[in-house]
Amino acid sequence: MNIKVLGSGCAKCKKLYGNVEEALRESGMEATLEKVEDINKIIDYGVMMTPALVINENVKSVGKVLSLKDIIKLIS
């Protein structure tokens, strides 16, 4: 599984990244986790509001910090 957190490095983006890390630990799932801060790459996903969560190249969430529970649902 490939997971990307799209964002400029703002507090919400960092929080989402941390929540994804924690969700992976809690669920025992293995994934490649990447932070994407390049605005052109973010726009390539059609994302106009960050943070955004991309799982296996599919945008799953835009503009909010998901809870651990919500992230675990998406990665399971």
Cα separation, 23 vs 45, in Å, equals 23
Residue 22, classed as helix, strand or coil, is helix
The verdict on whether 24 is a catalytic residue reads no
The verdict on whether 3 is a catalytic residue reads no
CB atoms within 10 A of CB 5: 24
CA separation, residue 69 to residues 24, 58, 76 (Å):
11, 19, 11
Which residue among 1, 10, 11, 29 is the active-site one? 10
Which residue among 3, 13, 20, 75 is the active-site one? 13
Residues serving a catalytic function are 10, 13
